[in-house]
Structure 1
């Protein structure tokens, strides 16, 4: 069942890409005919498009070949597992995520909550760390009653297990109460969950290091999604260098009540993969999609592709469900990719300076001053 679903997703993606290519080709020819009807100019306009077609077809052929290899390996694995695994055991990856060994700290709640907040974290360049500010902000900007409806899952996604262990101990000491009452959990993925991250496809003129970084990030998200499947009704994606506004849970609930149209994702920040809300029932599909195409595109581009697959009737300029003002703000500068600086801020965010604790205010203001100097 899982294999057939992944193959169906693959076929839909390939069809969408071919249709998109045909539309782009038709639009380019139409534009050139209107502006420059001369035959020689039309030939000059078609030549670059033919080159794009050739490059895309090569990319599609390579992708198809890779998917066929993965299909063959999966079929062999299924046959092997069928011979060695009892019929009642599901040999899928989700079983790996569901084991108790994945959880490093935190007490799971018996009842399903309203909102799960997923926060992956890894070592950053220059040893920069923003995770404590992120967690403090979420705690400060919710009431005790609201925290009973929320589960914050901190995913220690670094391959350095010693670093993860030390960070888990630090979080456990600082937030022991929130770990004990179920508001917070800490998890770590087994290394066996990850596919090979060597010899990946080089695209967009990215360096091999960047390709490995963004490919691993896709698998990180897939693991986090699978772990969070059944914790709450909704899932919110955050990063470990984000602060929230006051009463953000109330803002999410109010916006959910206002949106009457069918939706796959709601946005509570304009930036990247921050503040994106999904129904938890959609997480497995998204996780499968990321695992299938993890080395093809960065996670934010795969997200947009996934949304178009889920809503094939959605036009490129269709309405996005973005709540303004934003509820979350990016405050980090140093990326987990060595040498990458990202001075990104959400202009639609209302800064809760008046309600921010002094330490967090100093951190955010210091980052803002450095950004201005640059």
Structure 2
């Protein structure tokens, strides 16, 4: 009997030990599986970290290479001699996008819609932007007579270095005569090396395809037709120059190639502009003659150009400048005196005039002009 109890106890103990062993084996298997999963996750995480590290190192190398390239190009550009700054622009390359400022021309001239890029043919200078003032000078050949050197000497030399740094003078050669273009380029390279190197002086050449075919037809007509053609082209020359200058500066000052400037003229202009309390002005007149010495806000230039292009065949540009105020500021049936008074508030006259007309030989062949600004 006692042996029977011992056998039962032994069997029970064996069963308990077997059950415990099974439990332990089960737990160990589960734990082993979890450990394997954990190890796989760690390996996967390690792979991702290694990939991210490699990608970061690659990006750092690319960034360092890009910065080195930019630094090298800036150094090369800084050390580039003036005679290498000149470059030819491919105006007919349709793979390049043109400046948005010139797109307005395609609305008025259908022949330009086939042109991929509207931009000056030649640029000498550094295409300076982000300045306060852009000064535009349009020039054409006057035969054996030229006033451009005198004009540039006057305009450029009467700026301080800080004023020169905050401005850009743009000479626009609006003449198809290659000899005249070369003479202008050679003269400026010789006389104004420092200004070219600093980027404060540029020369552009208007592409021949810009002008409509009707303009070339009129040139072969009689004298009255040639005069009309000359006036039309002059309006278009100014429009192209204004569009080119617009993105460069806050203000645009229109000059001509046969004027001289007063001493300290630029200081007087900047002081006057900065001291104007109202920003409602449309332009400031620093000379009473024609289109000389007219200062515009660059943000308004596109509106002016649009108006000029609507009526470029009808009147000279200085008369169109008067007309635009009549259209914008004078109400139908309004008392002319009220309109004139309102115009004075947005068309500001500065006295004394800061620019004087000195040219006698007109850009129109065989014509002489002796107009002078009496307030200079």
TM-score, normalisation: structure 1: 0.64
Residue 285 of structure 2 contacts residue 348 of structure 2 at CA under 8 Å; is this kept in 1? yes
Given the alignment of the two structures, is residue 96 of structure 1 paired with residue 118 of structure 2, yes or no?
yes
| In structure 1, distance between residues paired with 2:307 and 2:210 | 15
Which residue, 279, 282, 304 being the options, matches 1:286? 304
Deviation at 1:124, TM superposition (A): 1.1
Candidates 193, 205, 217, aligned match of 1:176: 193
Structure 1 residues 293 and 206, CA gap change in structure 2 (3 angstroms): farther
Distance 1:282 1:130 in 2: 30
Distance (Å, rounded) in 2 between the aligned partners of 1:218 and 1:188: 16
What SS does the corresponding residue of 1:153 show, helix, strand or coil? Answer: strand
CA 1:293 to 1:199, structure 2 compared with 1: closer, same or farther past 3 Å? farther
Q: Which one of the candidate residues 326, 335, 341 is aligned to 2:368?
A: 341
Distance 1:167 1:219 in 2: 20
Pick aligned residue for 1:250 from 259, 263, 267: 267
Structure 1 residue ranges without an equivalent (≥5) = 7-69, 82-90, 350-374
Deviation at residue 163 of structure 1 after TM alignment: 1.7
Taking a change above 3 Å as real, the CA distance of residues 200 and 307 of structure 1, as seen in their structure-2 partners, is: farther
Q: Which residue in 2 is equivalent to 1:113?
A: 131
Equivalent residues in 2 for 1:26-45, closer than 5 Å: none
**Shift of residue 312 of structure 1?**
4.2
Query: Which residue of 1 is the match for residue 225 of structure 2?
Result: 208
User: What is the CA deviation profile of residues 63-114 of structure 1, one whole-angstrom value per residue up to 9, with x for unaligned ones?
Assistant: xxxxxxx88x84x986xx6xxxxxxxxx78xx412xxx634311123x5101
Q: CA offset at residue 260 of structure 1?
A: 3.4
CA contact (8 A) 1:210 1:337 kept: yes
Matched with 1:371 is none
1:265 matched to 2:283? The reply is yes
Gaps of 5+ in 2: 1-99, 332-337
1:159 counterpart = 2:176: yes
Determine if contact 2:218/2:226 at 8 Å carries over to the other structure.
no
Distance 2:186 2:171 in 1: 13
* Structure 2 residue aligned with 1:311: 329
The number of residue pairs the alignment matches comes to: 264
Query: In structure 2, what is the Cα distance between the partners aligned to 1:276 and 1:77?
Result: 29
* Larger radius of gyration between Structure 1 and Structure 2: 2
Q: Distance in 2 between matches of 1:289 and 1:96?
A: 20
Alpha-carbon distance, 1:306 to partner: 2.1
Question: What TM-score do you get using the length of structure 2 for normalisation?
Answer: 0.64
After superposition, the Cα gap between the structure-2 partners of 1:340 and 1:252, relative to the gap in structure 1 and judged at 3 Å, is: same
